[in-house]
Amino acid sequence: MNKIRCLIVEDEVPAAEELKYLISQHDDFVVEAIAYNGEEGDKKIKDLNPDVVFLDINMPLLNGVELAKKVQEEDLGTVIVFLTAYCEHAIKAFELNALDYVLKPVDEIRLEKTLDRIRTKFSEEKEVGDIPEVLAKLMEKFEQKQSPYKKLPGEINGKIVLIDMKDIFYCFIEGEKTYIKTFNENYLTGDTLNSLEKKTNFFRAHRSFIVNLDNVKELYAWFNGAYKIVMSDSAMSEIPISRNNVKKLKDILGL
Among candidate residues 222, 255, 219, the one with its CA nearest the CA of residue 236: 219
Q: Give the CA count within 13 Å in the CB-facing half-sphere of 45.
A: 28
Q: How much is the pLDDT for 249?
A: 64
- Spatial contact of 128 and 226, defined as CB atoms under 8 Å apart: no
Rounded to an integer, what distance in angstroms lies between the CA atom of residue 190 and that of residue 185? 16
**pTM for this one?**
0.52
Rounded to an integer, what distance in angstroms lies between the CA atom of residue 125 and that of residue 123? 5
From first to last of the 255 residues of the chain, give the pLDDT tens digit: 578 999 999 999 999 999 999 999 999 999 999 999 989 999 999 888 899 999 998 887 788 888 888 887 776 678 899 888 766 555 555 556 678 888 888 989 999 999 999 988 877 654 444 444 554 554 455 444 545 668 889 999 888 889 999 999 999 999 889 999 999 999 999 888 988 998 888 988 888 999 998 898 887 877 776 778 889 999 999 988 887 787 776 665 554
Identify whether residues 179 and 89 lie together within a single domain: no
Identify whether residues 174 and 194 lie together within a single domain: yes
Strand-strand pairing, 100-103 and 79-84 = parallel
Is residue 65 helix, strand or coil? helix
Q: Looking at the 3D structure of the chain, how many domains does it have? A: 2
Strand-strand pairing, 79-84 and 52-56 = parallel
Rounded to an integer, what distance in angstroms lies between the CA atom of residue 9 and that of residue 35? 5
Identify whether residues 148 and 233 lie together within a single domain: yes
Residue 153: domain span? 131-253
Identify whether residues 196 and 173 lie together within a single domain: yes
Adjacency order of strands within the sheet including 52-56: 29-35, 4-9, 52-56, 79-84, 100-103
Identify whether residues 114 and 55 lie together within a single domain: yes
Identify whether residues 23 and 40 lie together within a single domain: yes
Q: Please name the amino acid found at residue 117.
A: R
Identify whether residues 95 and 201 lie together within a single domain: no
